Amino acid sequence: MATTNATITINSDITSSPLSISKTMVLKKFQSTDGIEETTGLRTKKFNATTAVEIIANTEGTADKASKVYIRNTGSDSAEFFYVALNDNAAASDSTETIGKLYAGDWMFIPWKATAATTHDIVVAPSTTDEMTLEYMVFQE
Amino acid sequence: MATTTATVNISSTDLQPGNALGISASTTLYQTGTTTGLDLVDYGVGKLTEASAGDALAEALGTADTSNYVYICNTSTDKDQYMVIGIHDTVIGNLGSEEWLFMPWNMGDADAEINIEAEASGSITYEYAIFKSTYTLPAKT
């Protein structure tokens, strides 16, 4: 059994009382205290078109379990972003279902149900034809 | 202008034998496509009771297709209790006990609310923070 820790730290002065969040979790199997044992490893991919591209297929996770996905836009141009979606058409608005936009430097870390259907493929669409790079990793049971 | 930073550290010495994992990433949360910091936030603590349907943690009432970021933590220590996290009709994943998520949320359309649901029994206490580009209150009834 492997031990994988993920810690988030958020600091903000938006409010008059500074907001500070710090939380560490151990990545565990679904409804278990055992740590997850599989990963895709960290991947890096370059993009130079605005076409939506599947980066993680639903088959790379274990359906209905406790997979996790980390994605980061490694860019530095604040105007450029990736749409990240759970469908085959990452776009500003989509019925099934755009999650959000990852701007330069932004990262996300989400649980991923990996339902055995293309509706749970993870798809990205760059905002520009300028070269942009993502790094991403799947943790799974 | 407020400054909000979100940092993640993911580490494991034994998930990838012979190749210790050490990811560290930090981002500053900016308003849509700018280098101006987000200055709106909604955060708090809630309790969710197991039910057959989800509840909306946040409705997509702000300006569509903007920069917003969501943090949710399931603070339950019972391994059997998890939260189902989704956007509108699409489930993203299962957030296990003591687990957190951080993701962008573009509020792509009015049907892009963030849904949460408690499983498999009892009540789950959760913490959340939503950093927003725009903040529209629900209409008075």
In a domain, B19, yes or no: no
Q: Tokens 């930073």 belong to which residue?
A: B5
Interchain CB contact of A86 with B (< 8 Å) = yes
Do the beta carbons of residue B124 and residue B118 sit within 8 Å? yes
Q: Residue A117: its pLDDT value, please?
A: 76
Do the beta carbons of residue A107 and residue A116 sit within 8 Å? no
In a domain, B25, yes or no: no
| Torsion sign over Cα B88, B90, B92, B98 | positive
Torsion on CA atoms A23, A81, B44, A86, rounded to nearest 10: -90
In a domain, B104, yes or no: yes
Q: How far apart are CA A82 and CA A59, in angstroms?
A: 22
CATH class of A30-140: mainly beta
Q: Residue A88: its pLDDT value, please?
A: 73
Do the beta carbons of residue A86 and residue A118 sit within 8 Å? no
Interchain CB contact of B68 with A (< 8 Å) = yes
Q: What is the length of chain B? A: 141
Do the beta carbons of residue A55 and residue A89 sit within 8 Å? no
Q: Residue A53: its pLDDT value, please?
A: 93
Cβ atoms within 10 Å, residue B103:
25
Q: What is the length of chain A? A: 141
Enumerate the domain spans of chain A: 30-140
**A97: which 2 tokens?**
């279902």
Q: How far apart are CA B51 and CA A69, in angstroms?
A: 27
Quote the domain boundaries for residue B125: 39-132
Interchain CB contact of B103 with A (< 8 Å) = yes
| Torsion sign over Cα A65, A113, A27, A38 | positive
Task: Give the residues across from B37 on adjacent strands.
Answer: B30
Interchain CB contact of B20 with A (< 8 Å) = no
Q: What is the mean pLDDT of each run of 10 residues along chain A (141 residues)?
A: 96 95 97 95 96 92 89 96 89 84 97 84 95 97 86
| Cβ contact A101–B99 (<8 Å) | no
CA distance A126 to chain B (A): 14
What's B68's domain CATH number? 2.60.120.10
pLDDT over 80 at B13, yes or no: yes
**How many domains are contained in chain B?**
1
In a domain, B120, yes or no: yes
Q: Tokens 């500053």 belong to which residue?
A: B28
pLDDT over 80 at B7, yes or no: yes
pLDDT over 90 at B109, yes or no: no
ipTM here? 0.96
| Cβ contact B39–A5 (<8 Å) | no
Q: Residue B45: its pLDDT value, please?
A: 97
What tens digit of pLDDT does each residue of B29-65 get?
Answer: 999 999 999 999 999 999 999 987 788 999 999 899 9
Q: What are the residues whose beta carbons fall under 8 Å from the beta carbon of B123, sequence distance 6 or more?
A: B47, B48, B49, B50
| Cβ contact B105–A10 (<8 Å) | no
* Among candidate residues A42, A71, A41, the one with its CA nearest the CA of residue A54: A71
